[in-house]
Amino acid sequence: MTQTNPLLDLAGLPQYDAIRPEHVNPALDVLLEQARAAVAQAESVETPSWDNFVAPSEDAMERLGRAWGAVAHLESVVNTPELREVYNQNIPRISNFYTELGQNEALYARWKQLAASDEFAGYDQTRRTIVEHAIRDFKLSGAELPAEQKERFMQIEERSSELTTKFAQNVLDATDAFALYVDDESELAGLPDDWKAAARIGAEADGKTGWKVTLKMPSYLPVMQFAENRQLRETLYHAYVTRASEFGPAERDNTPLIEEIHALRQEGAKLLGFESFSEESLATKMADTPNEVLGFLRDLAERAQPHMINDRAEMERYAQERLGYGKLEAWDVGFVSERIREEKYAFSEQEVKQYFTEPTVLTGLFHLVEQLYGLQFVPADAPVWHQDVRFFELKNRDGSLVGGLYLDLYARDGKQGGAWMNDVRGRRKQADGRIQTPVALIVCNFAKGVEGRPALLPHDDVITLFHEAGHALHHLLTEVDELSVSGISGVEWDAVELPSQFMENFAWEWQVLPQLTRHADSGAALPRALYDKMLAAKNFQSGSGMQRQLYFSIFDMELHQRTEPIEIKRLAEMIQGELGIPLPPDYNRFPQSFSHIFAGGYAAGYYSYKWAEVLSADAYAAFEEAAGKTGNVVDATVGERFRREVLARGGSRPALESFTAFRGRKPEIDALLRHNGLAG
């Protein structure tokens, strides 16, 4: 099995197409044994140095991390009952290993010994950062706890891993389980032709007649925006906001999971000496205290609230006067908002997306990267996990390899919703002196093209793709040779969104848009007149959009500030009331599908999107300032500086230092307010 197990072959790219559930246990047996042997060797080192202590341990941990990362990735994008079973079986093994590693007193002592050595005094900032992070992480893993508390902390970590995985699987299963088949086309009035074509294909694939409606975003969102059938919108809304709650099968109800996850997080934080989990979360972030974060969020909410109130009043008037609705309901908001926007700015999203064909958008994105950083994405062969996945090599102009990128853009069954970037491997200098190039992957859930036509992307999907590309470039353009702080590794969580949100801005630039667009029928680029309408509508209801994000962020931080059991629905309603957001129907169970904080890395960290947006907007303002002088917002000189001071540095220094090195000063909030139409 050792010779044929693809999870043990880490010489090149992962063999995604060859990995099977039966490979997982044997591979982990070998890799965990190797990792424990490396730990034992590191414990025995009398005088730790980089070469005899840090590097050998990193080798073994990387092998284990990459193999388990491949399994976790497949579980999220091509989920099967067999893969899920073996993945869930191994969560305790992996969790316990890393918890034991973080609590290893002998290793902790060696790291502290290294930090006090003459060798450490001669380290550059990168290596000093790695040692300092290691010592910090030992403390946060419970290395200083007495034996009995260590055991309890390990139990908490193991159980938390199981619960967060189950939470995500419940959301996936609840989403996949819903299907509504519509036989009368008149009930689909207002929905675009490409949506109906995809829905018909979906029904045929299930052996049904008519059209299939699901809760996946490419199906759900157009219904909420365009369907004139109010009953259809209400049906879909009810199904969506009650996913993974008590309104479905008991085995998929996330309510008890939320309660236990919250209790375990607070217990673990208390063991480590923190007042709450929110304090523990901030120990590795830019922000210092929960109150600092909440003050920042509530300041933005105060600025956004008047705009949101005006938006709501306008929608209520329109719903009553133009549509005859007695009351604006939650399932009306998207539809009414789209109608107002179309009338106010004289264009529709359906008109716009005819220009954003997925192949042209991708070509334009790659061309932008070439203009900014002098790099090229070149299609290449690689083992993939699904036939829709593509792989590209990122190269310098001289043809030298920078890294690799997988793209998995379309929604399908067995694939978690949303969009994300993840690393496949990081950059590092190997023992033989050669550089291991970084590899990343981007996962989205766009609607696939049908009937031989390319996928048509709403502009919001284009922005999503640019966002994830920003994350990927952060990982791929690193010039740091030490694995634990290269690329996205070691970057403070509330700064990691800087490069992603920064990239979104280019999707709004007239200088960039012609290279992103080609009409699906005529082949014409986006007309300037239509662009001007899009730009005029850019901040349409931006106050409402910001208030929604601030609600998520404040809910997350307030939840993790509370150390006692809390009724989750009551907390959500309290914060909505504070922000002036109308309460949803009583059956709404949004928290039960809030995977970012209950199954992802954003617990007591969802505020990072707004925190980092201050950084990203201010960073992009440097390009706007250059354009004011040269007329060119895609400024290669500023791009080179952004690459050198922000993207290339990874986690080798604090994010604030990287930002200040690029901008020449600390961040200011003005650009964020201006970009969102909230200045003044």
CA distance 257 to 599: 10
Torsion 541-547-548-550 (CA) sign: positive
Quick check: 297 and 557 in contact, CB under 8 A?
Answer: yes
Quick one: pLDDT at residue 680?
64
Select from 458, 477, 291 the least CA-distant residue to 377: 477
What is the tens place of the pLDDT at every residue in 380-394? 999 999 999 999 999
CA distance 68 to 96: 14
Q: How far apart are CA 678 and CA 669, in angstroms?
A: 11
Tally of CA atoms within 13 A in the half-sphere of 232 that contains its CB = 30
Do 531 and 513 meet the contact criterion of CB atoms below 8 Å apart?
A: yes
DSSP 398-457: TS-EEEEEEEEEE--TTS-SS-EEEEEE--EE-TTSPEEPPEEEEEEEEPPP-TTPPPB-
φ and ψ at residue 204, rounded to 5 degrees? -60, -40
39-55 per-position pLDDT tens digit: 999 999 999 999 999 99
CB under 8 Å to 468, separation ≥6 — which residues? 419, 420, 421, 442, 443, 444, 500
pLDDT at 351: 95
**With 0-12 CB in 10 A as exposed, 13-18 as middle and 19+ as buried, what is 324?**
exposed
Q: Tell me, what's the pLDDT at 3?
A: 61
Please, are residues 634 and 511 in contact by the beta-carbon 8 Å criterion?
Answer: yes
Catalytic residue status for 234: no
Q: Looking at the DSSP assignment, which residues form a beta bridge with residue 406? A: 391, 441
Count, residues in the chain: 680
Q: Among the options 468, 482, 497, 558, which is catalytic?
A: 468
Helix axes 528-536, 333-345, angle to 10 degrees: 130
Residue 89, SS3? helix
Query: Which residues are within 8 A (CB) of 90 and not within 5 positions of it... i.e. 6 or more apart?
Result: 24, 25, 28, 68, 71
Residue 212, strand partner residues: 181
Output the CA angle 203-206-207, nearest 5 degrees. 90
Classified as helix, coil or strand, 527 is coil
Q: Domains of the chain, with CATH numbers?
A: 6-102+104-140 (1.20.1050.40), 178-242 (no CATH), 275-347+541-604 (no CATH), 358-484+491-536+609-675 (1.10.1370.40)
pLDDT for the residue 1 = 43
User: Model pTM greater than 0.85?
Assistant: yes
pLDDT for 2: 45
Whose CA is closest to 340, among 320, 361, 315? 315
Bridge partners of 423?
440
For the chain, list residues with pLDDT below 50: 1-2
List of residues 6+ apart from 634 with CB closer than 8 A: 368, 371, 372, 506, 509, 511, 512, 623
